[in-house]
Copies of this chain bind each other. A is one copy, B any other.
């Protein structure tokens, strides 16, 4: 184990936040030791923390954690805890992460890494100050087998990428009756761009390498006011509305273009008012020797063109449908029945992510690709900020800092 909390016993795991995503982290840790080879060292499921004691207790019982609590600070002094997931409101990430790192814990933070770029930078600095600890940002979509398969083709059989065309379209904000909520407040870029575009931006760099510039950013707000709900609302749910309306402050639709260090160009289209798209991220990658595409609506497959034969130039040119299976990343040993055509679900992704993080903590070499670091989490916010700057400057080109 590479942890400063060196010991010879099991790796102790805790999760802070037991909402939907927090429970996904719990489930991921629970399935991690069942997956892949070699076996992980023994794990100990120590604690689930949530401000709501009943929620924390329920999660602890379901996922087999030893105890639950309401105060994350109790983990700081618990020597049996080595690995902690932070799955609470973004504005709390920095304080918790800094404290955990100072206490010698490995930290896996949900994305976005922080609520502001300043806080994200502080967290990346804190991670750099603790090189003996593993830090991660939970860009769980990197674990999708089809996406990983495409990434492995880029720069290899596909050759250098020339063009990335991505979109993330949701419909959660399309109805004017969806009530006002925190997600509709904050300046331009804190809307669709930050909420869902952040995933697409991360995948774009994951697949194509670092961007150098963004350009032509444009934000649009079509639903300009929303009714205030009568009580508390959760997630994207409907609610009884008052007659009061408040202004929507941020972007329903965000579009921009980008250039990559390798000369490729990217087009990005992001919307939260896209009827028919409950939750739909997709991209096309074009390269010297072919193309690939993937659509989260059809997660069990991807499509490729490999221009390696004369056929591809004439009568049989077109996309090849590829159903993911044991020949692709993650699936061999990563799902219970690892034969072709088995698909995978979001739960599997959290298992792969938890396993990868635990492999890093345990110092297992040659296993899964490592989790995105805090630096990667900062990077995502840097790009979002640059897109906001481009929009503020009427679409002007904005140079990105180089990605460390």
Contact = CB atoms under 8 A, between A and B. Distances in A.
Interface stretch (A128-136, A242-250, A314-322): A314-322
Interface in A285-334: 286-291, 296-301, 303-307, 311-323, 325, 327-328
Interface in A112-152: 149
B275 A291 contact: yes
Dominant secondary structure of chain A at its interface with chain B = mixed
Nearest to A302: B318
Interface in A199-234: 215-218, 220, 222
A209 to B, nearest CB: 15
A277 to B, nearest CB: 8
B253 A274 contact: no
B30 A341 contact: no
Contact of A395 (B299, B316, B320, B390): B390
Nearest to A236: B339
B63 A34 contact: yes
A280 B165 CA distance: 14
Contacts of A217: 216, 257
A298 B341 CA distance: 9
A382 interface: no
A23 interface: yes
A141 to B, nearest CB: 11
Interface string A357-397: 00000000000000000000000000000000010001111
A362 B290 CA distance: 46
A5 interface: no
Interface string A248-272: 0000110111010001111111010
Contacts of A9: none
Given A217-B216, A337-B20, A273 B286 contact: yes
Contact of A20 (B218, B288, B328, B336): B336
A313 B27 CA distance: 29
Interface stretch (A48-56, A97-105, A179-187, A344-352): A344-352
A383 B174 CA distance: 30
A7 interface: no
A327 B314 contact: yes
Given A62-B33, A395-B257, A287 B267 contact: no
A10 interface: no
A307 to B, nearest CB: 5
A322 B315 contact: yes
Contacts of A284: 274
A31 B30 contact: yes
Given A175-B313, A255-B265, A396-B396, 8 more contacts: A34-B62, A163-B253, A163-B271, A218-B259, A222-B264, A299-B300, A343-B346, A344-B345
27 contacts: A30-B30, A31-B347, A163-B271, A169-B286, A218-B259, A220-B264, A257-B257, A267-B269, A271-B286, A274-B286, A275-B291, A276-B318, A278-B325, A279-B323, A279-B339, A279-B342, A297-B341, A301-B318, A303-B321, A304-B316, A315-B328, A317-B340, A336-B350, A342-B346, A343-B345, A390-B395, A394-B397
